[in-house]
A = this chain, B = another copy of it.
Amino acid sequence: MEEKTWVRMVTAQTPTNIAVIKYWGKRDETLILPVNDSISVTLDPAHLCTTTTVAVSPGFDQDRMWLNGKEISLSGGRYQNCLREIRARACDVQDEEKGIKIAKKDWEKMHVHVASYNNFPTAAGLASSAAGFACLVFALAKLMNAKEDNSELSAIARQGSGSACRSLFGGFVKWNMGKAEDGSDSLAVQLVDEKHWDELVIIIAVVSSRQKETSSTTGMRDSVETSLLLEHRAKEVVPKRTKQMEEAIKNRDFGSFAQLACADSNQFHAVCLDTCPPIFYMNDTSHRQVKIISCVEKWNRSEETPQVCLTPHSRSLT
């Protein structure tokens, strides 16, 4: 009986990330393998982040999860894939103080409870799933004493939500699309850390906290199936643009950074519009968005060099 009483807990906090070269389109829906590389900037965890506590106890008879205080199902393939992959990498855990001893092989039978909170609107275009899955995978890895580094963990988080792989590092992060069929080389690498360009300020304007009408998953699928511009973007435009963006970031060249980020965001929305049925991520709140975009353009044009750039998500401008 006594051994049933203990609970081992790990809490982690993971910031969301904002893509400056956009991920849009999967070449493999199950493994979540993208059609192009993407680059993002990771936000300060003190601002937009997910806090996740994972717990294991002999008293738990099933895996359970609560998101923002409300229990949600873990039966979905994405959660199951992450749990399976982490369990497969679990190692012996020993906590003499609490008299806890879990052998590597025991993890298959142990159940976990997960409590996750976002301190920002969920599914409103602020990459809540990115922060969420990154945090879940990282916390489970610590709980189960997995030895993998953050890039290896990013390939697991990727299977929960593609952009989640970019939230395992701070600073500027690149998600290499990879070539391998099993997705083993489709993972995130840190380009520069958060100190490299610390004078860069990120402003997030939430124009609507309503949930998106088209989920990214459905939208991407429709775009891959119907847009005649997506493949050209993925194969011809993004590879060059990614190299230019890496240079701009390394050189802290805001002029190029701003031009590339704006152009890529506009192209992402262009591909959405070229999708059948068209996806209007920017239209339904456009009165407010277009006003902001116009102000930013007037400001930039009035100065010698760009002062600010925009990369609108579905409902938020960053």
Contacts and interface: CB of A to CB of B under 8 A. Distances in A.
Interface of A: 226, 228-229, 232-233, 236-237, 259, 262-263, 266-267, 269-271, 273-278, 280, 282-284, 286-287, 289-290, 293, 297
15 contacts: A226-B263, A228-B233, A228-B236, A228-B263, A229-B232, A232-B232, A263-B276, A267-B273, A270-B270, A270-B271, A277-B297, A283-B289, A284-B287, A284-B290, A286-B287
Nearest to A267: B274
A302 to B, nearest CB: 13
A307 to B, nearest CB: 15
Given A229-B229, A267-B229, A259 B283 contact: no
A267 B228 contact: yes
Contacts of A277: 297
Nearest to A284: B290
Contacts of A287: 284, 286-287
Contacts of A283: 282-283, 286, 289-290
Chain A interface SS verdict (over half): helix
B282 A276 contact: no
A266 B274 contact: yes
A269 B273 contact: yes
4 residue pairs, one from A and one from B, having the closest CB atoms: A270-B270, A270-B274, A283-B286, A270-B273
Nearest to A278: B266
Contacts of A297: 277
A59 to B, nearest CB: 50
A110 to B, nearest CB: 47
Given A228-B237, A228-B267, A266-B274, 8 more contacts: A229-B267, A263-B274, A263-B276, A267-B273, A269-B273, A270-B274, A283-B283, A283-B286
Contact of A259 (B271, B276, B282): B276
